[in-house]
Structure 1
């Protein structure tokens, strides 16, 4: 693609801040290096470099929406400010093709002493609109903001919700070529958020390019064409939203624990287990309605999970592997690993877990998502107060079964499963999480549309 086909091109962008321990060291940095240089000495450095961004590169084609995810402090806001032009990069190039409207910090660009109406004209002029153009759009802006008579009150009296309503109304109603939204919608209520996303959809259809930052992963997979993961100021990955969200959850929930902390946690759990009044033993829990002869036969060898039909080779797997999900079985109406799942009929899942370390009160998680990554159903054994194992011992294994009716609309869905436990501090420790590891193809349905069958009953009555 030529450069004219991109709304934004970021090439090897760095942003470095000089951090001083005290004002005195800042003053020394201003004076001493010059004196030392004149004396022929090596200039001293009185600050530390903090790299908010390091070698960031990506491209956003015109008309597309890119989601940016990352932990707090990962550099997301810094990157957006550089793109919006309110910060300059330390190095690298930023090429922005089009008029940019940005919702960055709450209330940014507003004069607290001006009324909402006056701030509309102020913001519009900063975005390049004339007074006449703003007049033409004023009714649409006020209608979208929907803050009533407060439009003629100083914005210092506004709540955070009113501020974001007015700010989004201005930015979104001027038909920008590039729109940047940095978590601004998080403070709006559900009704306003729905209106905002409808407007974003309309802008995208009209050719607006959108950069969207949110901690709500469902919003990223629903509204974005691509996604980018930042961590520590570095681009960790970019690609399909579902894949990037999985990587983000990996980072967010602590995959990278050190070996020492893992060993300490195991020792703590062992002390708890041994100190009990009775010996903890492994108990295999099977669903009450599944008879012994229905229990599928598994090989005790590792590695069969990815050899089974319905396995998705594009799964995302992570965890410390203190316990591993090594095999699974799928059955509906006596058919093993069905290629086409019949709707409104029960389906049986079975999973074999092998324990490599002692795990106290293991937690099994189960989720179903659309192919776009939207979670339809998510549960775990702890939420359901299921009678699971007291402890999983090294070298032992267990079988977990899940039975549920298929109440989904026709299409492709993915099952995510995981085994975890709680630390002594209450933190969830992921041992083996296999996101989107099982593919389900649901057959045609004629009684409803949407995602799930809510089993509605329609009744007519006559007098």
Structure 2
């Protein structure tokens, strides 16, 4: 049975030449607007009872507008939305919370706005407090809360009473792993009772893990409604870029081959981060890079533990007796996870001279033993002979983002591949 039906739904914002023309339009008079901007258009899909739907799309694609129409806080300009049963939504972190009121007071207020009586809310309040699990902060003003604490209270209130449709828009992304697991356990329990989930997130792993279907929205249009794996690949292609070629084999050969061009090609490569930090004393220019696995060049995502080849092209503008290329891997927050260079990787036996005008390719191969997430890669080349002082010729810090996925979650950031065994002592 369908609990939600969205048919040819669109939302536009119109500008009129005068407020009188806008007013006349309310009564059906044919007054064309001066200009019209469609945020979403021709969106159609259905959600069945107990089904989980993931919605993916870049910022500005129209996801939030669609959810506001589904929840009834925004009216569509065209099309229809028909829902059966009660909808509970967390569209924005702490939306509707009064920062001067305590968590307890906001819970009472929010539940009232959801249509529950004071008696019903008071009865559910101990469970809300227990699920949020923020201790004495529950009776402190919300303005003193961290984003994670707001997410805890917001989710606890939204799920205090089982809804027919639960909508979560990125609210869980700020919570810690323990709270996320707790939330998904409650969602799974609701699903078994018939609750449908609409999950809007930038985490492709969450969509694959928790959703039966996924929708990919781009520039206000529904591009794909299908299996989570297919939809997440399309989303990653749009996010990080995807090359076009006549055949997979030709694509791989072309992607792995550097040309003799001296153009800076970083901004043409998938995963390039335009906010990179570039510096150095000169004498060398880092022009291009490649990231590849055994199966694919510039993969949209890399499986944890998979061996990856990271290579980059450097043009030298001065003579150097010895150069040392290297790379760094950092988290999005800037935490250094791993760094190496030609001296470390070759155990000190590498000596690389360079002449002005020469172009060289440097390659590092390593298993990417990282937990699921996004990571930044930096490239660099220095002059000198370790362990003496190195002169940085060119640095391109945080210039590439790679996405890592894994089927089995771990704690922390790096997978150290621990081994386990158990034994019994005889008494």
1:205 equivalent among 192, 195, 214: 192
Question: In the TM superposition, what is the alpha-carbon distance from 1:198 to its structure 2 partner?
Answer: 1.2
Question: In the TM superposition, what is the alpha-carbon distance from 1:362 to its structure 2 partner?
Answer: 3.2
1:380 equivalent among 292, 295, 308: 308
Question: In the TM superposition, what is the alpha-carbon distance from 1:353 to its structure 2 partner?
Answer: 6.7
Q: Is 1:104 paired with 2:91?
A: yes
SS at match of 2:293: strand
Aligned to 1:29: 18
Aligned to 2:9: 13
Deviations 1:106-145 (A, max 9, x none): 1112223322112112111222222222222221111000
1:220 equivalent among 207, 212, 229: 207
Taking a change above 3 Å as real, the CA distance of residues 127 and 44 of structure 1, as seen in their structure-2 partners, is closer
Q: Output the CA distance in 1 between the equivalents of 2:118 and 2:302.
A: 43
2:290 equivalent among 349, 362, 368: 362
2:44 equivalent among 49, 52, 57: 57
Q: 8 Å contact 2:308–2:366 — kept in the other structure?
A: no
Taking a change above 3 Å as real, the CA distance of residues 114 and 231 of structure 1, as seen in their structure-2 partners, is same
| Matched positions, count | 310
Question: In the TM superposition, what is the alpha-carbon distance from 1:148 to its structure 2 partner?
Answer: 1.3
Q: 8 Å contact 1:367–1:379 — kept in the other structure?
A: no
SS at match of 2:18: helix
Q: Output the CA distance in 2 between the equivalents of 1:153 and 1:178.
A: 30
Question: In the TM superposition, what is the alpha-carbon distance from 1:31 to its structure 2 partner?
Answer: 4.8
Q: Output the CA distance in 2 between the equivalents of 1:49 and 1:137.
A: 46
- Unaligned runs of 5+ residues in structure 1 are 20-25, 36-41, 256-318, 328-350, 388-399, 405-420, 436-451
Q: Output the CA distance in 1 between the equivalents of 2:157 and 2:177.
A: 19
Aligned to 2:102: 115
Aligned to 1:336: none
Q: Is 1:320 paired with 2:244?
A: yes
SS at match of 2:159: helix
Aligned to 1:458: 422
Taking a change above 3 Å as real, the CA distance of residues 81 and 358 of structure 1, as seen in their structure-2 partners, is same
Deviations 1:230-285 (A, max 9, x none): 00010000110011000101111123xxxxxxxxxxxxxxxxxxxxxxxxxxxxxx
Q: Output the CA distance in 2 between the equivalents of 1:129 and 1:356.
A: 64
Q: Output the CA distance in 1 between the equivalents of 2:401 and 2:175.
A: 33
Aligned to 1:80: 67
Taking a change above 3 Å as real, the CA distance of residues 33 and 242 of structure 1, as seen in their structure-2 partners, is closer
Q: 8 Å contact 1:325–1:354 — kept in the other structure?
A: no
RMSD value, Cα: 4.1
Q: Is 1:194 paired with 2:186?
A: no
Q: Output the CA distance in 2 between the equivalents of 1:70 and 1:321.
A: 25
SS at match of 2:151: helix
Taking a change above 3 Å as real, the CA distance of residues 109 and 374 of structure 1, as seen in their structure-2 partners, is farther
Q: Is 1:71 paired with 2:94?
A: no
SS at match of 1:16: strand
Taking a change above 3 Å as real, the CA distance of residues 29 and 357 of structure 1, as seen in their structure-2 partners, is farther
Taking a change above 3 Å as real, the CA distance of residues 44 and 247 of structure 1, as seen in their structure-2 partners, is closer
Q: 8 Å contact 2:14–2:33 — kept in the other structure?
A: no
Instruction: Give the alignment's TM-score, normalised by structure 1.
Output: 0.58
Q: Is 1:249 paired with 2:236?
A: yes
Question: In the TM superposition, what is the alpha-carbon distance from 1:355 to its structure 2 partner?
Answer: 6.2
Q: Output the CA distance in 2 between the equivalents of 1:34 and 1:133.
A: 42
Question: In the TM superposition, what is the alpha-carbon distance from 1:425 to its structure 2 partner?
Answer: 10
